[in-house]
C-alpha cells in the first residue's frame, strides 16, 4: 500500500514541491492494483476528485471511494443514501466504484474500506470460465442483439476473457467495427449484472470470428 500527499487543485500547485507531489501521486496510482480515493465529506465530490477517478479508470485500477469526515456531517434520514446517489449520478459510467462513508479521526468503517479494497483486488484477479461466460452472455445477446448496420446483421458467436492483467473480454463476431458504443455499454452492464466486478473497470474488444 502506498500513501500519497494527495493531488491538489492545479491553482494551488505553485511550487516545485507541489508539482512533484502530483507526479508521485500519479506514479503511486500507476503502481497500485487498487486505489482508495479519499473525499472530504464537507466538500463533496469536486472536479479534481473526478479527474483522479478518471485516471484510476484509465489505468485500469480497482477503486474505492472513501467519504472521509462523515462524523462531521449533519445527518437526516437517508442522508448517506441521497449523497451516494448524487455521487453516482455525477460519476456516470464510472459509478461502478463503490462508496463507503468513514472517518479516519473516529476510526469509523476504516476496516470496511480495507476489506472492500481486498475484495476488489480479488475481483480484479477473477477469471470467468469461458463456458459459463458464453452460456450467460449469449442468451443476453440473443434477447437483445446488436442492431443491424446498413442491412448487415452483426452476429456475436463467442466470448472469452483475455489473459491480461486488467479485465478484458473479447467478443468474436461478424463486422466487429460496426458495434456501437451504446451496445458496448450494454454488454459491460450485463457482465456486471451477472459477475462480481465491483470496483473494477471492464474493457470489451470486438474481433472477427
Instruction: Report CA-CA distances (Å) from 162 to 117, 178, 185, 205.
Output: 23, 21, 18, 10
pLDDT for residue 3: 55
pLDDT for residue 149: 81
Mean pLDDT of 104-109: 90
Same domain for 107 and 159?
Answer: no
pLDDT tens figures, 59-83: 999 999 999 999 998 888 788 999 9
**Can you tell me the distance from the alpha carbon of 90 to that of 202, in angstroms, rounded to the nearest whole number?**
19
Minimum mean pLDDT range among 11-20, 108-117, 164-173: 11-20
9 versus 197: the higher-pLDDT residue is 197
Same domain for 114 and 21?
Answer: yes
**Domain end among 83, 102, 124:** 124
176 versus 9: the higher-pLDDT residue is 176
Same domain for 18 and 111?
Answer: yes
> Which own/partner pairs from 181-190 qualify as long-range (CB within 8 Å, at least 24 positions apart)?
183/146, 183/147, 185/93, 186/144, 187/137, 187/141, 190/137, 190/140
Mean pLDDT of 114-138: 95
Same domain for 74 and 88?
Answer: yes
**Domain end among 124, 145, 164:** 124
Same domain for 37 and 85?
Answer: yes
pLDDT for residue 88: 94
Same domain for 146 and 204?
Answer: yes
CATH number, residue 196: 3.30.300.20
Same domain for 14 and 103?
Answer: yes
CATH number, residue 105: 3.40.50.300
**Can you tell me the distance from the alpha carbon of 181 to that of 184, in angstroms, rounded to the nearest whole number?**
5
Which residues, 6+ apart, have CB-to-CB distance to 51 below 8 Å?
7
**Domain end among 124, 157, 177:** 124
Same domain for 150 and 120?
Answer: no
How many structural domains is the chain composed of? 2
Domain residue limits at 160: 130-208
Same domain for 160 and 106?
Answer: no
Amino acid at each position: 500500500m502506498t500513501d500519497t500527499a494527495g493531488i491538489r487543485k492545479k491553482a494551488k500547485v505553485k511550487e516545485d514541491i507541489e508539482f512533484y507531489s502530483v507526479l508521485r501521486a500519479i506514479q503511486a496510482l500507476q503502481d497500485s492494483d487498487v486505489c482508495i480515493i479519499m473525499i472530504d465529506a464537507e466538500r463533496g465530490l469536486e472536479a479534481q476528485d473526478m479527474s483522479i477517478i478518471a485516471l484510476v479508470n484509465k489505468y485500469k485500477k480497482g477503486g474505492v471511494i472513501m467519504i472521509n469526515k462523515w462524523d462531521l456531517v449533519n445527518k437526516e434520514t437517508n442522508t448517506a443514501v441521497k449523497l451516494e446517489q448524487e455521487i453516482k449520478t455525477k460519476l456516470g459510467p464510472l459509478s461502478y466504484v463503490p462508496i463507503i462513508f468513514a472517518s479516519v479521526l473516529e476510526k469509523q468503517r476504516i476496516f470496511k474500506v480495507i476489506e472492500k479494497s481486498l475484495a476488489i483486488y480479488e475481483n480484479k484477479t477473477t477469471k470467468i470460465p469461458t463456458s459459463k461466460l458464453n452460456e450467460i452472455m449469449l442468451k443476453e445477446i440473443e434477447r437483445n442483439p446488436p442492431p443491424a448496420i446498413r442491412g448487415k446483421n452483426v452476429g456475436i458467436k463467442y466470448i472469452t476473457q483475455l489473459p491480461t492483467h486488467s479485465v478484458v473480454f473479447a467478443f468474436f463476431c461478424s463486422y466487429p467495427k460496426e458495434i456501437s458504443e451504446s451496445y458496448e455499454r450494454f454488454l459491460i452492464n450485463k457482465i456486471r449484472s451477472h459477475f462480481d466486478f465491483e470496483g473494477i473497470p471492464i474493457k470489451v474488444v470486438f474481433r472477427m470470428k
